[in-house]
């Protein structure tokens, strides 16, 4: 019985999580999977109740669950808290505690949505990229860090960007393994022309490639050039590997190729597994039934695939999403004239309908 800890979080996280739980329940019925869902507070909602973004109890529950399914955290209400009390710190703590070091962020441009991108259709049509982002190391966690007072009355803020060989090797293997199952092409992103830590990144990734994955083509790009090439020739990328901060930036950029952050799922795997959409809590539209639930729905499909080996039910969800888009249903973020505008809940209902109607095509 798959045990899932559900952390809806804040803002639109709550709405999109509700919709995706409905979808998972339908999938469960259809495929005889008995999900056990337990819901807990996380982020701002946990701060309001307990004063901290995640309690130890919730961390323990996350560790003992088979997977964590989370919505989004944060919002203006909690923005001015001390660093360690912010919702974002709860998210980082959860990732670290579960050692969820590999963040997989697929960016796919659906044919029906190619016009939703801010780039020209011919540039983005057919884009299918997997960003593999290191998630529990690098500058997000490096020490020393802080803000200190200087003698002359100024302040100095500082963080540390460091990676060990082992940290680089393990994330590189995840990226190479994924590339091997796709088009056998990996682009590793660094800043080896300036930073020693990134020289180590480049030589380590090169060594893992040469010794363990000679069949995968490896390209190295400096992060500035990568950011540029990603909007210039997005179709030439297959798997992109980056450290924590560069991966954070590049994955938002890859997301925008697809037209909306509201479409992008992600999986963070390691010892434990966290499934979260790439988008944030969007406080400006929260509670208005306006959010796009597709990122969250595709996130739950990733959970089925990566945590429970349920590839076929995951595919059913993905295809239902594609069909709903082809029929012209759109939430506000991807809407354009001539399409049918739906709220968050109604979009979920359309996808649910497709799943219920889904008939496996018999093999001939």
x/- string (CB under 6 A) for ligand IPM, residues 91-130? x---------------------------------------
- DSSP secondary structure of 20-89: HHHHHHHHHHHHT---EEEE---THHHHHHHSSSS-HHHHHHHHHSSEEEEEE---GGGTTS-GGGSHHH
Question: CB of 243: closest distance to ligand IPM in angstroms?
Answer: 12
| Number of residues lying near ligand IPM (CB under 6 A) | 3
* Catalytic hit among 66, 99, 177, 252: 252
Catalytic annotation present for 140? yes
Name which of 125, 141, 63, 134 is nearest 105 in CA terms: 134
| Identity of the residue, 40 or 248, whose beta carbon is nearer to Mn ion in the bound complex | 248
Nearer to ligand IPM, 89 or 313 (CB): 89
Cβ of residue 251: shortest distance to Mn ion, in angstroms?
Answer: 7
359 counts as catalytic: no
Closer of 208 and 264 to ligand IPM (Cβ): 264
Nearer of residues 265 and 348 to ligand IPM, judged by Cβ: 265
C-beta of 86: minimal distance to ligand IPM in Å?
9
Of the residues 110, 191, 275, 333, which is catalytic?
A: 191
If the CB atoms of residues 249 and 339 are measured against Mn ion, the closer one turns out to be: 249
Catalytic residue among 10, 190, 238, 248: 248
Please say if 335 is a catalytic residue.
Answer: no
Q: Is 157 helix (H, G, I), strand (E, B) or coil?
A: strand
Q: What is the dihedral of CA 15, 18, 19, 25, to 10 degrees?
A: 180
Based on the residue annotation, tell me whether 358 is a catalytic residue of this protein. no
Determine if 134 is a binding residue for Mn ion (CB under 5 A): no
Phi–psi pair at 126, nearest 5 degrees: 90, 0
Collapsing DSSP to helix, strand or coil, 337 comes out as: coil
Neighbours of 245 (CB within 10 A): 16
The one among 10, 40, 248, 350 contacting Mn ion by CB under 5 A = 248
Active-site option among 48, 115, 215, 224: 224
Tell me if 15 contacts Mn ion by CB under 5 A: no
Query: Distances in Å between the alpha carbon of 167 and those of 69, 164, 226, 303?
Result: 25, 5, 22, 24
* CB of 288 vs ligand IPM, minimal distance in Å: 22
Q: What residue 88 binds from Mn ion, ligand IPM, none (CB within 5 to 8 A, per partner kind)?
A: ligand IPM
Residues 6+ positions from 67 with CB-CB distance below 8 Å: 2, 3, 4, 5, 272, 273, 274, 275, 303, 307, 308
91 binds, among Mn ion, ligand IPM, none (CB under 5 to 8 A by kind): ligand IPM
- DSSP secondary structure code for residue 292 in this structure: -
At closest approach, how far in Å is the CB of 247 from ligand IPM?
Answer: 8
Pick 248 or 354: Cβ nearer ligand IPM: 248
Contact partner, 10, from Mn ion, ligand IPM, none, Cβ < 5-8 Å per class: none
Strand blocks (E) in 198-344: 217-222, 239-242, 267-269, 273-275, 329-330, 340-341
Closest CA to 71 of 361, 297, 310: 297
Residue 155: Cβ-neighbour burial (10 angstroms; 0-12, 13-18, 19+): exposed
Would you call the peptide bond into 7 cis, given omega within 30 degrees of 0 as the criterion?
Answer: no
Angle of the 311-326 helix axis to the 12-31 helix axis, nearest 10: 120
With CB under 6 A as the contact rule, the residue among 40, 167, 238, 248 that binds ligand IPM is 248
Q: Pick between residue 78 and residue 213 the one whose CB is nearest to ligand IPM.
A: 78
Q: Is 224 a catalytic residue?
A: yes
The tokens describing 352, both together, are: 């649910």
Q: Is 88 near ligand IPM (CB under 6 A)?
A: yes
- Decide if 185 contacts 239 (C-beta within 8 A): yes
**Residues recognised as catalytic:** 140, 191, 224, 248, 252
Query: Which positions lie near Mn ion, rule CB under 5 A?
Result: 248
Query: Which positions lie near ligand IPM, rule CB under 6 A?
Result: 88, 91, 248
């Amino acid at each position: 019985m798959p045990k899932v800890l559900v952390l809806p979080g804040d803002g639109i996280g709550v709405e999109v999580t509700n919709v995706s739980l409905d979808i998972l329940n339908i999938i469960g019925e259809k495929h005889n999977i008995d999900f056990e869902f337990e819901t807990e507070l996380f982020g701002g909602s946990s701060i309001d109740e307990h004063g901290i973004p995640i309690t130890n109890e919730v961390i323990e529950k996350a560790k003992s669950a088979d997977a964590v399914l989370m919505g989004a955290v944060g919002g203006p209400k909690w923005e001015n808290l001390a660093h360690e009390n912010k919702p974002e710190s709860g998210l980082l703590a959860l990732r670290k505690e579960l050692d969820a070091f590999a963040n997989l962020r697929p960016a796919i441009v659906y044919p029906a949505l190619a016009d939703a991108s801010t780039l020209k259709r011919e540039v983005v049509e057919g884009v299918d990229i997997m960003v593999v982002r290191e998630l529990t190391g690098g500058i997000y966690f490096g020490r020393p860090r802080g803000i200190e007072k200087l003698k002359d009355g100024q302040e100095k803020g500082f963080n540390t960007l460091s990676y060990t060989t082992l940290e680089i090797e393990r994330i590189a293997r995840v990226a190479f393994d994924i590339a091997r199952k796709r088009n056998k092409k990996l682009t590793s992103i660094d800043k080896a022309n300036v930073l020693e830590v990134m020289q180590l990144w480049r030589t380590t990734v090169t060594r893992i490639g040469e010794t363990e994955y000679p069949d995968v083509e490896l390209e190295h790009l400096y992060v500035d050039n990568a950011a540029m090439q990603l909007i210039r020739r997005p179709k030439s990328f297959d798997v992109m590997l980056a450290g924590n901060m560069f991966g954070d930036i590049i994955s938002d950029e890859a997301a925008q190729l697809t037209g909306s952050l509201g479409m992008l799922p992600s999986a963070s795997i390691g010892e434990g597994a966290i499934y979260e959409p790439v988008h944030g809590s969007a406080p400006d539209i929260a509670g208005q039934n306006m959010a796009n639930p597709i990122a969250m729905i595709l996130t739950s499909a990733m959970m089925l695939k990566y945590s429970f080996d349920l590839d076929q039910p995951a595919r059913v969800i993905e295809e239902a999403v594609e069909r709903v888009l082809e029929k012209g249903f759109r939430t506000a973020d991807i809407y354009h004239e001539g399409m049918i505008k739906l709220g968050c809940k109604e979009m979920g209902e359309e996808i649910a309908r497709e799943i219920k109607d889904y008939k496996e095509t018999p093999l001939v």
